[in-house]
Amino acid sequence: MKMIKPIVNVSKVADAYDAVLCGFNGVLHDGVSFRAEALEALLCLYKSGKKIVLLSNDCRRVEEIARLMHQNGFSPRLFSAMVTAGEILHHHLAAGRGVYASLGKNCCCLDEDGGASLFEGLDFAVTADPAKADFLYVGRLPAGRAVDDYLDVLNHAASLGLPLLCAGNDTSVVCGEDTVPAAGAVAEQYAVLGGRIITVGKPDPAVVDYALAAFGPTERKRILMIGDCMASDIRAASAAGISSCLVSKGVHVSFLGEGYIPDVTKTRELGNMIEAYPDYVISGLRR
C-alpha cells in the first residue's frame, strides 16, 4: 500500500526534487483570485533553483494566463514553460493533422468567449447553430451554466454526428468557495448521448511528456507534480512515473474537508475511487 504523507509546507519535501510541474486552477488560482500563499511558495521554489513548468487543463491560451499573472504582480518568467490545454488545442487546429485534418472549418462554440481565443489567427468560422457547424467546441463555461443547459444543443449535434472538441478533461473546477461544472462534464454528457469527443489535456501521457520535455535532462524521480485533481493530476503523475502532491482545498474540498492538516484517510478513499494515489497531500500550496 502506497504511503500518503500529509504536509503543511512544500519546503519540507522540496530538497528531494529538482523540478516541479504545477497546476493552475485549484493550486495557484481559485477561479476568482490568485492564492497569495501559493504564489509565494512558487517564488521560493524558483529562488531555490527549482525548474518550474505550468501544466494546466485550462482552456485559455498561455498568453492569457501570463497576462493574468502579470496583472496581479506575479511574473510568469518563473516558469521554464507554460502549457495549457487551450494552447495545445490551438496548436493542433493550426497544424491540421490527424483527427483535426477532417474537422471542417465551421464551429458551434459552447464556451464563454465564443472561441475567440482558441481560433485567433486561424481560418475558422463560429456559428450558434449546430446545423451549420462541422464540429462543436466546449471550453470555459459561462458562470452559472449547468450541463443540462446544453442538452438541446448536444442532442441536436449528436443527431447530426458532429464531433465535440474539449479543452481540458476536468469535469469540475473550484470557483471561490464553490465547485462548478467544467468542460469535461459537457464532453461526458455528449459521449453518453452517443457523440464523438476529442479531448485535450491531463492525464493524456502525450501532454505530460510534452511538458516534461521543458525540463531538459531530469530524472523522473526528481520531478514533483502539484495539482488539485485526482483524475487528471495524480493519475497523470502516476502514469508518468513522477511524484505527486495533491492540494486538498481544491476541486475535492467537499470530500476532503477544509482542515489545515489534510485528511489522509479521506485522501486514500478518494484514491481508491480513482485508482491513483499522491505521495503527499497538502491543504494549500505554501512555502
For the stretch 109-136, pLDDT in tens is 999 989 999 999 999 999 999 999 999 9
Predicted confidence at residue 194, as pLDDT, reads 99
Instruction: Evaluate whether residue 91 is within a structural domain.
Output: no
Examine residue 84 and state whether it is found in any structural domain, yes or no: no
CB 278 within 8 A of CB 3: no
Cell numbers found for residue 265: 484517510
User: Which residues share a beta bridge with 224?
Assistant: 20, 243
| Residue 12, C-alpha cell as written in the block | 519540507
Say which residue the cell 493550486 belongs to. Answer: 27
Domain limits for position 170: 103-200
Q: Do 160 and 181 have their domain in common?
A: yes
Sequence-distant (6+) residues with CB within 8 A of 177 are none
Residue holding cell 518568467?
Answer: 77
Domain limit, last residue, from 139, 172, 200? 200
What SS3 class is residue 58? coil
Instruction: Name residues whose C-beta falls within 8 Å of residue 272's C-beta, 6 or more positions apart in sequence.
Output: none
Domain-embedded: residue 77 = no
Whether residues 125 and 157 share a domain: the answer is: yes
Shared domain for 212 and 188, answered yes or no, is no
89, part of any domain: no
- Say which amino acid occupies 205: P
Residues 218 and 140 in one domain: no
Question: 92 with 82: CB under 8 angstroms?
Answer: no
pTM over the 0.75 mark: yes
pLDDT at residue 212, rounded to an integer:
98
Angle between helices 85-95 and 205-212 (to 10 degrees): 100
Any domain includes 153: yes
Q: Are residues 190 and 130 in the same domain?
A: yes
Could you tell me if 165 and 218 lie in one domain?
no
Q: Which of 160, 176, 200 is a domain's end point?
A: 200
Last residue of a domain, one of 200, 218, 251: 200
Let me know whether 111 and 173 are in one domain. yes
Any domain includes 68? no
DSSP type of residue 183 = H
pLDDT tens sequence for the chain (287 residues): 899 999 999 999 999 999 999 999 999 999 999 999 999 999 999 999 999 999 999 999 999 999 999 999 889 999 999 999 999 999 999 999 999 999 999 999 999 989 999 999 999 999 999 999 999 999 999 989 999 999 999 999 999 999 999 999 999 999 999 999 999 999 999 999 999 999 999 999 999 999 999 999 999 999 999 999 999 999 999 999 999 999 999 999 999 999 999 999 999 999 999 999 999 999 999 99
Run of H or E residues at 269: helix 264-274
> Do both 234 and 156 map to the same domain?
no
pLDDT at 204: 98
> Which CATH number do you get for residue 267?
3.40.50.1000
* Residue 78 placed within a domain: no
Q: Are 38 and 20 in contact (CB under 8 A)?
A: no
Q: In the prediction, which pLDDT does 1 show? A: 80
Tens-place pLDDT, residues 84-101: 999 999 999 999 999 999
How many structural domains are present in the chain? 2
Please, where are the H alpha helices in 72-150? 85-95
194 shares its domain with 207: no
* Cα–Cα distance measured from residue 269 to residue 179, given in angstroms and rounded to the nearest whole number: 20
Cα–Cα distance measured from residue 108 to residue 111, given in angstroms and rounded to the nearest whole number: 9
Let me know whether 194 and 218 are in one domain: no
